[in-house]
Amino acid sequence: MTDTLDKAATDTEVSTVTTMTMASALNAGLRAAMERDPKVLLMGEDIGALGGVFRVTDGLHKDFGGDRVMDTPLAESGIVGTAIGMAMRDYRSVIEIQFDGFIFPAYNQITTQLAKMHYRSGGRITLPLVIRVPFAGGIGAVEHHSESPEALFTHTAGLRCISPASPQDAYDMIQQAIACPDPVMFFEPKARYWDKGEVDTSLVEQKLSSADATAALGRARVARAGEDVTLIAYGPTVRTALLAADVAESEGTSIEVIDLRSLSPLDSATVVRSAKKTGRAVIVHEAPTTYGVGAELSARITEEAFFHMEAPVMRVGGFHLPYPASKFEHDYLPSLDRVLDAVDRVMTH
Amino acid sequence: MDAHGPLSSEGLVQLLTHTGERVEHDTYSAYAADLTPERLRQLWRDMTLVRAFDMEATSLQRQGELGLWVQSWGQEAAQVGSGRVLRGEDFAFPSYREHGVAFTRGVDMPDILKIFRGLQHGAWVPAEHHFHLYTMVIGAHTLHATGYAMALDRDGLTGTGDPERDAATICYFGDGATSQGDVAESLTFAAVHNAPIVYFCQNNQFAISESVTRQSRVALADRGKGVGIPSVRVDGNDVIACYAVTQWAMQHARSGAGPVFVEAFTYRMGAHTTSDDPTRYRSKADEEFWAERDPIDRLTAHLNAIDELPQDFQTDVAAEAKELAKRTRTAVKSWVRPHVLEMFDHAYAEPHATVETERAWLERFERSFADAEA
Amino acid sequence: MPTFEQFKMPDAGEGLTEADIVTWRVAVGDTVEVNQPLVEIETAKSLVELPCPFDGKVTQLLATEGDTIDVGVPIVEIDVDPDGEAPPESPAPSAADADAPAPVEQASTPAPVAAPETPPSAPIDDEGSGAVLVGYGVKPGSAKRRARKAEALEPIGGDGDGDSYPVLAKPPVRKLAREMGIDLNSITPTGPGGIVTRGDVEDHAKATSAQTLATYPGDDQPWLESGTSTQDGRATRVPVKSVRKRTAEAMVNSAFTAPHVTEFLTVDVTATMELVAKLKADRDFADVRVTPLLIVAKALLLAVRRHPEVNASWDDKAQEIVYKHYVNLGIAASTPRGLVVPNIKSAHRLPLHELAVELQDLTAEARAGKLSPQSMSDGTITITNVGALGIDTGTPILNPGEAAILAFGSIREQPWVHEGEIKVRWVTQLALSFDHRLVDGGLGARLLADVGRVMEDPAHGLVWA
Do B268 and B353 lie in a common domain?
no
User: What secondary structure letter does DSSP report for C19?
Assistant: E
**3-class DSSP state for residue B41?**
helix
Q: Give contacts of C158 with chain A, Cβ < 8 Å.
A: 272, 276, 303-308
Q: Are A309 and A300 in contact (CB under 8 A)?
A: no
Do B182 and B266 lie in a common domain?
yes
**CB-facing half-sphere around the CA of B26: CA atoms within 13 A:** 1
> Would you say residue B1 has pLDDT above 90?
no
Nearest C-alpha in A relative to B348: A158
A40 closest CA partner among A76, A67, A68:
A68
Predicted pLDDT at B321: 98
CA pair distance B367, B373, nearest whole angstrom: 7
Q: Are B93 and B144 in contact (CB under 8 A)?
A: yes
Q: How does DSSP assign A322-339, residue by residue?
A: SPPPGGGHHHHS--HHHH
A277/C158 Cβ within 8 A: no
* Whole-number percent of chain C with pLDDT over 90: 45
Q: Are A344 and A280 in contact (CB under 8 A)?
A: no
Predicted pLDDT at C337: 67
Number of domains in chain B: 2
Cβ neighbours, 10 Å, residue C260: 17
pLDDT tens readout for residues B172-225:
999 999 999 999 999 999 999 999 999 999 999 999 999 999 999 999 999 999
pLDDT tier for residue C16 given thresholds of 50, 70 and 90: low
CA pair distance B271, B266, nearest whole angstrom: 14
Q: Are B64 and C8 in contact (CB under 8 A)?
A: yes
Do B234 and B103 lie in a common domain?
yes
Spell out the residues 6+ positions from residue C424 whose beta carbon is closer than 8 angstroms to its own.
C413, C414, C415, C416
Q: Tell whether A321 is covered by a domain.
A: yes
* Whole-number percent of chain B with pLDDT over 70: 99
Q: Which domain, by its residues, includes B318?
A: 12-334
What is the interface size between B and C, counted as CB pairs within 8 Å? 70
Do B363 and B313 lie in a common domain?
no
**Using CB atoms and an 8 Å cut-off, which of residues 151-180 of chain B contact chain A?**
151-152, 154-155
Instruction: Point out the domain boundary residue: A217, A240, A263.
Output: A217
Do A66 and A169 lie in a common domain?
yes
Is C317 an 8 Å CB contact of chain B?
no
Residue to substitute from A307, A309, A346, interface C, most C β-carbons within 10 A: A307
A86/B147 Cβ within 8 A: yes
**B55-69, B306-320, C6-20, C200-214: range with highest mean pLDDT:** B306-320
Predicted pLDDT at C139: 65
Do A98 and A239 lie in a common domain?
no
Do A271 and A284 lie in a common domain?
yes
pLDDT tens readout for residues A105-158:
999 999 999 999 999 999 999 999 999 999 999 998 889 999 999 999 999 999
Sequence letter at residue A334:
P
Is C44 an 8 Å CB contact of chain B?
no
Do A183 and A200 lie in a common domain?
yes
Do B178 and B305 lie in a common domain?
yes
> Would you say residue A252 has pLDDT above 90?
yes
Q: Give contacts of B65 with chain C, Cβ < 8 Å.
A: 53
φ, ψ for residue A6 (rounded to 5)?
A: -60, -45
CA pair distance A67, B215, nearest whole angstrom: 36
Based on the number of CB atoms within 10 Å of its own CB, is C145 exposed (0-12), middle (13-18) or buried (19 or more)? Answer: exposed
Q: Quote the minimal CA–CA distance from A230 to chain B in Å.
A: 22
| Sign of the Cα pseudo-torsion (B266, B269, B273, B278, in order) | positive
Do A259 and A205 lie in a common domain?
no
* Whole-number percent of chain B with pLDDT over 90: 93
Do B140 and B248 lie in a common domain?
yes
| Torsion, CA B61, CA B63, CA B67, CA B72, rounded to 10 | 0
User: What secondary structure letter does DSSP report for B131?
Assistant: B
What CATH number does the domain containing B155 carry? 3.40.50.970
CA pair distance C170, C187, nearest whole angstrom: 14
Spell out the residues 6+ positions from residue A82 whose beta carbon is closer than 8 angstroms to its own.
A43, A72, B143, B144, B146, B147, B150, B186, B189
**3-class DSSP state for residue B154?**
helix
Do A238 and A211 lie in a common domain?
no
Spell out the residues 6+ positions from residue C79 whose beta carbon is closer than 8 angstroms to its own.
C2, C3, C4, C5, C56, C57, C59, C110
Q: Are B180 and A65 in contact (CB under 8 A)?
A: no
Q: Give contacts of C166 with chain A, Cβ < 8 Å.
A: 276-277, 279, 308, 310
B185/A77 Cβ within 8 A: yes
| b/e B29-61 (16+ beta carbons within 10 angstroms → b) | bebbeebeeeebbebbbbbbbbbbbbbbbbbbb
Do A210 and A336 lie in a common domain?
no
Do B96 and B156 lie in a common domain?
yes
> Would you say residue A203 has pLDDT above 70?
yes
* Mean pLDDT value across residues A187-200: 95
Q: Tell whether B344 is covered by a domain.
A: yes
Predicted pLDDT at C93: 40
Spell out the residues 6+ positions from residue C181 whose beta carbon is closer than 8 angstroms to its own.
none
Q: Helix H segments across C128-228?
A: 171-179, 198-209
CA pair distance A222, A237, nearest whole angstrom: 14
* Mean pLDDT value across residues C30-57: 88
A310/C163 Cβ within 8 A: no
Q: Tell whether A8 is covered by a domain.
A: no
Q: Worst-scoring range by mean pLDDT, A68-72, B328-332, C199-203?
A: C199-203
**3-class DSSP state for residue B322?**
helix
Q: Tell whether B62 is covered by a domain.
A: yes
> Would you say residue C148 has pLDDT above 90?
no
Q: Are C2 and C54 in contact (CB under 8 A)?
A: no
What CATH number does the domain containing A304 carry? 3.40.50.920
Q: How does DSSP assign B189-242, residue by residue?
A: HHHHHT--EEEEEEE-SEETTEEGGGT-SS-TTHHHHHHT--EEEEETT-HHHH
For chain B, give the number of residues: 374
pLDDT tens readout for residues C188-234:
888 877 888 889 998 888 776 654 333 444 445 666 667 777 767 67
**Which residue of C157, C158, C166 is in closest CB contact with A310?**
C166
* Mean pLDDT value across residues C294-301: 96
Do B253 and B114 lie in a common domain?
yes
Distance of CA A78 to the CA centre of its chain: 24
Do A188 and A242 lie in a common domain?
no
Q: Tell whether B7 is covered by a domain.
A: no
> Would you say residue C451 has pLDDT above 90?
yes
Query: What residues of B act catalytically?
Result: 268, 272, 281
Distance of CA B188 to the CA centre of its chain: 23
Q: Tell whether A4 is covered by a domain.
A: no
**Using CB atoms and an 8 Å cut-off, which of residues 155-214 of chain C contact chain A?**
156-159, 161, 163, 165-166, 168-171, 174, 193, 195
A121/B133 Cβ within 8 A: yes
Neighbours of A, requiring at least 3 CB pairs below 8 Å, are B, C
pLDDT tier for residue B113 given thresholds of 50, 70 and 90: very high
Is C156 an 8 Å CB contact of chain B?
no
Q: Worst-scoring range by mean pLDDT, A283-292, B220-229, C333-342, C393-402?
A: C333-342
C327 closest CA partner among C353, C299, C291:
C299
Q: Worst-scoring range by mean pLDDT, A50-54, B181-185, C84-88, C451-455?
A: C84-88
**Which residue of A85, A157, A180 is in closest CB contact with B151?**
A85
Do B207 and B319 lie in a common domain?
yes
Q: Give contacts of B186 with chain A, Cβ < 8 Å.
A: 78, 81-82
Do A255 and A179 lie in a common domain?
no
Which residues, in sequence order, are bridge partners of residue B13? B234
Is B134 an 8 Å CB contact of chain A?
no
Going from the C-alpha of B60 to that of each of B70, B101, B270, C274, the distances in angstroms are: 12, 21, 15, 109
Do B84 and B218 lie in a common domain?
yes
C133/B276 Cβ within 8 A: yes
Q: Tell whether B4 is covered by a domain.
A: no
Q: Worst-scoring range by mean pLDDT, A197-211, A306-320, B96-110, C410-424?
A: A197-211
Q: Which domain, by its residues, includes A333?
A: 221-348
Do A56 and A202 lie in a common domain?
yes
Q: Tell whether A209 is covered by a domain.
A: yes
User: What secondary structure letter does DSSP report for C402?
Assistant: -
pLDDT tier for residue A319 given thresholds of 50, 70 and 90: very high
Instruction: Point out the domain boundary residue: A152, A186, A217.
Output: A217
CA pair distance B230, B226, nearest whole angstrom: 10
Spell out the residues 6+ positions from residue A99 whose beta carbon is closer than 8 angstroms to its own.
A53, A134, A144, A145, A147
> Would you say residue C111 has pLDDT above 80?
no
C45/B280 Cβ within 8 A: yes
Instruction: Point out the domain boundary residue: A198, A217, A236.
Output: A217
Residue to substitute from C154, C156, C163, C165, interface A, most A β-carbons within 10 A: C165
CA pair distance C227, C213, nearest whole angstrom: 12
Do B191 and B227 lie in a common domain?
yes
Pairing of strands A262-264, A314-318: unpaired
Predicted pLDDT at A85: 98
pTM for the model stands at: 0.72
Neighbours of B, requiring at least 3 CB pairs below 8 Å, are A, C
Predicted pLDDT at C109: 40
Number of domains in chain A: 2
B56/C46 Cβ within 8 A: no
Q: What is the mean pLDDT of chain C?
A: 81
Peptide bond into A265 cis (omega under 30): yes
Do A189 and A264 lie in a common domain?
no
CA pair distance B75, B272, nearest whole angstrom: 13
Q: Are C276 and C292 in contact (CB under 8 A)?
A: yes
Q: Quote the minimal CA–CA distance from C190 to chain A in Å.
A: 14
User: What secondary structure letter does DSSP report for B96?
Assistant: S
Do B63 and B197 lie in a common domain?
yes
Q: What is the mean pLDDT of chain A?
A: 94
> Would you say residue A306 has pLDDT above 60?
yes
Q: How does DSSP assign A170-225, residue by residue?
A: HHHHHHHHHH-SS-EEEEEEGGGTT-EEEEETTTTTT--SHHHHHHHHT--EEEE-
Sequence letter at residue A169:
D
User: What secondary structure letter does DSSP report for A114?
Assistant: I
pLDDT tens readout for residues B256-277:
999 999 999 999 999 998 888 8
**Which residue of B122, B137, B144 is in closest CB contact with A122?**
B122
> Would you say residue C236 has pLDDT above 80?
no
**3-class DSSP state for residue C345?**
coil
Q: Tell whether B3 is covered by a domain.
A: no
Q: Tell whether B89 is covered by a domain.
A: yes
Do A30 and A154 lie in a common domain?
yes
CA pair distance C420, A126, nearest whole angstrom: 127
Predicted pLDDT at C301: 96
